[in-house]
Structure 1
Amino acid sequence: MARKTGLTGWLTPVVLTLWVGALWMTAITASVLFQTIADRQLAGLVAGKLFTIVSYIGMASGLWLLLQRLAGEGFSALKQGLFWVIFVMWVLVLVGEFGIQPLLAQLKASALPNDVMQSVFASRFRTWHGVASIAYMVECLLGLWLVIKSS
């Protein structure tokens, strides 16, 4: 990402750092939660809250970074790999938060009063949780690539 003075000169790398750092820290924290807390439902609840927070950070950060690139480069930004990596990350955030997460929540609610993993919905939950995990890891890896390319 091009170095600029003024607001975008310092805000853009801060926004990118916040987003990618939050992605990686949340992944690490979720792992620690499941290793530390014996109650998997409680660990999942806390991890879910963290993933929601990082999703909103990603939505705002991705939008800022996309608009900043368009404002700075005009339509030629659409020809740049950095723009499309940010766009893919942003779409992954939106799909995760507004597509996959509500589906997982619905499966959990349908299983009540039992834990979803002890219900007939366990297989579907595992499948969609796996899709969410893969999408999240792709987002993390693309974010790491962005940080490397923008330095």
Structure 2
Amino acid sequence: MGSFLNKLSFIFTSIWVGGLWAMLMVTYVIFNIMPSSYIAGMIVSDIFSYINIFGIITLVLILGYGFHVESIRFLKKMQAWLAFFLLLVVCISFFGINPILEALKVEAFPKEVMESVFADRFSAWHGIASVAYLIECILGLFLLLKTR
């Protein structure tokens, strides 16, 4: 059973981290293809939400498996701290930053947010979200290497 959960956590981590990196290209393509940046933003936002949910599930699986197998000794491993930190970043992004961005879009409606009085706040929060996402991408690679 332990070997199965270890392999499952590696597979989930691979899918999640691969999805994180793929979204960098997908976002670029969607914003270049779609005639409306509002619609493109809605599509990309939904995909990011699914990736964040999958990331939370993956990180909880890694932490749960690690504590199940190694108990408190798991805290001595870099994998545990990477997973904890990533879970924190993903949760802050998903439950904190993304709702703020969505609220700013709603407040700006019927205008696009970047054409409204909320453009500066949206840009600032979007920058914070982008930094958090970059942290997820980079640390996700390190976690993937530690999960193997």
TM-score by shorter chain over 0.5: yes
For 2:93, give the aligned amino acid.
G
Unaligned runs of 5+ in 2: none
The match for 1:102 is: 99
**1:29 to 2:29 alignment:** no
For 2:135, give the aligned amino acid.
V
For 1:116, give the aligned amino acid.
V
The match for 1:57 is: 54
Superposed CA RMSD in Å reads: 1.5
The match for 1:18 is: 15
Ranked by relative contact order (alpha carbons within 8 Å, sequence separation 6 or more), the top structure is: 2
Report if aligned partners of 2:78, 2:146 keep a CA contact under 8 Å in 1. no
1:25 Cα shift? 1.4
The match for 1:134 is: 131
3-state secondary structure, aligned to 2:65: helix
> Sequence identity, in percent?
34
CA distance in 2, matches of 1:113, 1:57: 32
User: When the two structures are superposed, what TM-score results if normalisation uses the length of structure 1?
Assistant: 0.91
For 1:65, give the aligned amino acid.
I
Task: Provide Cα deviations, 1:18-66, integer angstroms capped at 9, x if missing partner.
Answer: 2111211122211211122232111111111110110110111111011
Aligned length: 148
Report if aligned partners of 2:9, 2:147 keep a CA contact under 8 Å in 1. no
